[in-house]
Amino acid sequence: MARTPLVLVHGNPESAAVWGPLIGELGRADAVVLSPPGFGVPAPQGVDRSPAGYRDWLASQLELFRDPVDLVGHDWGGIHVAALAMSRPDLIRSWASDALGVYAPDYTWHPRAQVWQQEGPGEESVRQLWGGDLQQRLAVASALGMTGRMAERVAAGMDPEMGRAVLALLRAARQPTMAEAGKLLPDAARRPGLALIALDDVEQASGTVEQHEWAAREAGARIARLEGVGHWWPEQTSAPVAAALTTFWAELDR
């Protein structure tokens, strides 16, 4: 029996290369990795860099598949995945996201995102983070907590275009945008979902445990609480996530 297609969507400031360890753990050399425009791939002229625009971009990519897919997202990719699950259940068999907490009504953007959302300070931050040479960008990736090959791959993909995409996306996502979007979380329950809660990452990027769990309940999603797993799990701690996904999909197969 043919396997359900597996599609992976990464976040900021990553490229598709971050998925290598997870793909290896899953034994899914057939997995398809999609890079949101501006994040590891060029962005077409005039592309809509709002959360809704990226949701529609993802839908356009999944429409190319013959069958519904198992969809997994990390960081902003997880936000796009949840938005897709709310709006186009016909395109997926299942979905998994590590970023559901941003949809909670009391979610507050993390400090760095709040800087990007400000005119002036945001541009200066982008120049500092994305404007240097490779060694400077590698230092930035390391400061964000990345190590080894992941830091090298991410640094290689960081460029001014990604910085511009970050500013546009985060400014379009100022609150109450995400809280309003979160009101549609019950629509995501039309397909099986899995909330990946990286416990070493909570309260740093995408919300508290309580915010993740609230959003998961709203979306009718199962919950995987991942001990010892941090924000950069696609590279650094992929094994526990692979185990959670494998268990989730096995239950669907039964």
Q: What is the pLDDT of residues 80-97, one digit of tens each?
A: 999 999 999 999 999 999
63 CB-near residues (< 8 Å, 6+ apart): 91
Cα 242 to its chain centre, rounded Å, is 16
CB 195 within 8 A of CB 222: yes
DSSP 3-state of 7: strand
* Residue (of 241, 60, 234, 30) closest to 151 by Cα position: 234
Residue 92 phi/psi, 5-degree rounding, is: -135, 150
- 122 — alpha (psi -120 to 50), left (phi > 0) or beta? alpha
Give the C-alpha distances (Å, rounded to integers) separating 98 from 3, 48, 79, 176. 23, 23, 8, 20
Which strands, in side-by-side order, build the sheet including 193-198? 32-34, 6-9, 69-73, 92-97, 193-198, 222-226
Residues of the chain with confidence (pLDDT) below 50 = none
The torsion defined by the Cα of 209, 88, 65 and 215, in degrees rounded to 10, comes to 0
Predicted TM-score (pTM) of this structure: 0.96
Tokens read off for 111 = 């400090």
Q: What is the pLDDT of residue 1?
A: 60
Tokens read off for 2 = 């043919």
Q: What is the pLDDT of residue 5?
A: 98
Please give the Cα distance from 99 to 76 (Å, whole number).
7
DSSP 3-state of 72: strand
Cα 162 to its chain centre, rounded Å, is 15
Q: What is the chain's length?
A: 254
Q: What is the pLDDT of residue 145?
A: 86
Handedness of CA 239, 240, 243, 244 (dihedral sign): negative
